[in-house]
Amino acid sequence: MAPTKSEALRRVVLDAALAISSNTGPDALSLREVAREAGVSHQAPYHHFGDRAGIFAAIAEEGFNKLANSLEHSQEFGAISMCEAYVHFALQNKGHFRVMFRSDLCDVDNYPDASFQANRAFEILLSEARSILGVDATEDRAILQATFMWSVAHGLATLLLDGPLENKLGAQEDVGAFVRNVTQIAMTNVHA
């Protein structure tokens, strides 16, 4: 089924917001700038998203959905693959990634659909942590393991996106191999 005119306009506005978030950062985003970038009336962003937090909530919802799907597809290959998928998601979806974890921009807990997708992504990590640790592991230990995996992937993604890593190490010839090697080191002795 083809999207309606309203759905298509919503997508144009959301894509413009993502471009701003990706290129200049989410702090530079205003609904007026989104309208200008999208080539639509100044009222279009307000009509579809209500306010700035609403557009950030839509970005977060879409981003967490994409992240959860990426983690889900990589889960059959294990924790290292999931960490790699997380980093690659961030690198390929910079506009989403720069919004998703910023509660100062949008508290996803106030947006049920965004909250659902955020929880879904974490539950996939938690499921893998439980699998790694085995049936005797406590829920607290599984949460710590999932948090460790999240921290490794998120930290590496942030360092790659924001540039400090490249400043220290130079451009990586094969970013995929670099990410794989870092995650393999991090996940070694994960059962300890």
pLDDT tens digits for 103-157?
999 899 999 999 999 999 999 999 999 999 998 999 999 999 999 999 999 999 9
Query: Token match 């970013």: residue?
Result: 175
| More confident: 154 or 191 | 154
| Sequence spans of domains, the chain | 1-50, 53-187
pLDDT at 192: 46
The class level of CATH for 1-50 reads: mainly alpha
Is the pTM for the entire model greater than 0.85? yes
Into which CATH architecture does domain 53-187 fall?
Orthogonal Bundle (1.10)
Query: Do 86 and 67 form a contact (C-beta atoms < 8 A)?
Result: yes
Tokens matching residue 12: 């144009």
Query: Do 97 and 89 form a contact (C-beta atoms < 8 A)?
Result: yes
Query: Do 19 and 99 form a contact (C-beta atoms < 8 A)?
Result: no
What three-state secondary structure class fits 42? coil
Spatial distance between the Cα atoms of 122 and 72, rounded to a whole number of angstroms: 11
* Percent of the chain at pLDDT exceeding 70: 96
Say if 1-50 and 53-187 have the same CATH topology.
Answer: no
